[in-house]
Copies of this chain bind each other. A is one copy, B any other.
Amino acid sequence: MSRPRKESGRTVTAEEIKAVARRQMSEHGTAGLSLRAIARELGITAPAIYNYFPRLEDLITTLIVDAFTALAVAMETAGAEARTEGAGLWETFTRITRAYRAWAVAHPTDFQLIYGNPIPGYHAPTDLTGPLAQRPFAQLFDLLQAGWRSGQISLPEEYQPVPPALAGHIRAYRTKSGLDLPEVLICVLLSGWARIHGQVMLELFHHSQPFIGDPGLFYELELSAYLRRLGLPPPG
């Protein structure tokens, strides 16, 4: 019954486990991650991981949380950089949204983990992922709010008037979140998120390449079209 403990201190940290999990995920896809494979790579037996993550689900959940915050951080630093450089509304908005796609392209499996269907029976706890999903865009809300207050942004007429039923919901959200924006602008921002998200999704699954070749270029066009429609003057 001798148990060859490799070294005395072969205690693994939760961070190591997550790192290996992320790497394996990026190599074999979101669903191609296994406790046993992780343990193998760490020189550990599989049940040992249970000390850190009682279930595989829990590991996945923390991976999702990490990914969400990583995306948010990427966008927030992009925004912070723009602000410190004294960039204008156009440039700031562009950099932030650019960071969205850049992060997705750089970490496709994490992005799919967040915005796709990750693992067999797994369903993310929406009460946990909900706020996380909104965080990356909080800053865009602020940006639009500032732009609208300063009169730089005009409200596209094609979104007006917002149908009453929809406006009711939006007002509920607005009072709950403390935002002070007209319903139209919230609609326009949400439309912007969907546009961006849709493009990234189509790109990640290679649906847009046949049409436009370079999705990055088309993404830029879409961003600029969006901002121009808000009445912002293109730079340069």
List chain A positions with a Cβ less than 8 A from chain B: 28-32, 112, 115-121, 123, 126, 130, 133-134, 156-159, 162-163, 165-166, 168-170, 172-173, 186-187, 190-191, 193-199, 201-202, 205-208, 210-214, 217-218, 220-222, 224-226, 228-229
Contacts and interface: CB of A to CB of B under 8 A. Distances in A.
B213 A169 contact: yes
Contacts of A208: 190, 194
Contacts of A28: 121
Contacts of A133: 207
25 contacts: A31-B117, A31-B119, A32-B121, A112-B116, A115-B207, A126-B206, A156-B225, A159-B221, A159-B225, A163-B217, A163-B220, A163-B221, A165-B217, A166-B212, A169-B217, A170-B211, A173-B210, A186-B212, A190-B212, A191-B222, A193-B202, A194-B199, A197-B198, A198-B201, A229-B229
How many copies of this chain does one complex carry?
Answer: 2
B115 A205 contact: yes
A191 B195 contact: yes
Nearest to A169: B213
A134 B202 CA distance: 12
Contacts of A205: 115-116
Nearest to A195: B195
Nearest to A174: B211
A39 B157 CA distance: 56
A173 B212 contact: yes
Contact of A202 (B118, B163, B194): B194
A75 to B, nearest CB: 15
Contact of A221 (B29, B130, B134, B166): B166
B117 A117 contact: yes
